[in-house]
Amino acid sequence: MIVIQRVRVRWSAAGRGAPQANARRGLVRPVTLPDPLPSGEVVFHDVLSDEAAGYARRDNVSAGGLKLARDLALWLSLDGPAATINRLPGRAAYPRPRASTRLFTLAHGQVGRYRANFRFTGCMCDPSWYYEDWLVHVGYGHVRGDRFVHGEPDRDVDERVHLYGGR
């Protein structure tokens, strides 16, 4: 089993200022997994705190096969006792999508952490921007409900960038 938890915070271009940043500070942190988790080759726990909903947390849990990770722009492959996690090009306007990148390879029982932030636009007909800050944990094998909250990851990749321009 592979357990993925993605914690996201989303805000609008109007929410870029310091008071709004204070409102969302600390929201991108791991949370305890729901109990019980559904059964499946991949279990995905998606947590979203959206400015449009007053940053109230919304959780969704789904289970399925390896293809389920594509919703996260991740590619999972199992090779013997290891699980390899690659980041696929996504739909972010910034940073620009690039070719697939290996994030990490996990042995059974290990956890990887991936941090990133993005600027998105709705579509060509809607020029408004919105932003997301992501914290993704991937556990290969059985994962205790509080493992992402209290344990240190075995692998850590941080691809956060400055989203508003400048240094």
d(Cα 105, Cα 65) in Å, to the nearest integer? 18
Q: What is the pLDDT of residue 104?
A: 96
Q: State how far the alpha carbon of 15 is from the alpha carbons of 5, 47, 92, in Å.
A: 25, 20, 18
Distance CA 89, CA 158 (A): 16
Spatial separation of the C-alpha atoms in residues 9 and 99, rounded to whole Å: 25
Cα distance between residue 30 and residue 78, in whole Å: 25
Q: How far apart are CA 156 and CA 159, in angstroms?
A: 10
**Which residues does 122 contact at the CB level (< 8 Å), separation at least 6?**
128, 130
Strand partners, 74: 87
* Residue 64 pLDDT: 92
Return the pLDDT at 95: 67
Residues in the chain with pLDDT values less than 50: none
Q: Which residues contact 94 (CB under 8 A, 6 or more apart)?
A: 118, 119, 161, 163
Q: Residue 6: its pLDDT value, please?
A: 95
Question: Would you kindly state where each structural domain of the chain is located, as residue ranges?
Answer: 2-158
3-class DSSP state of 44: strand
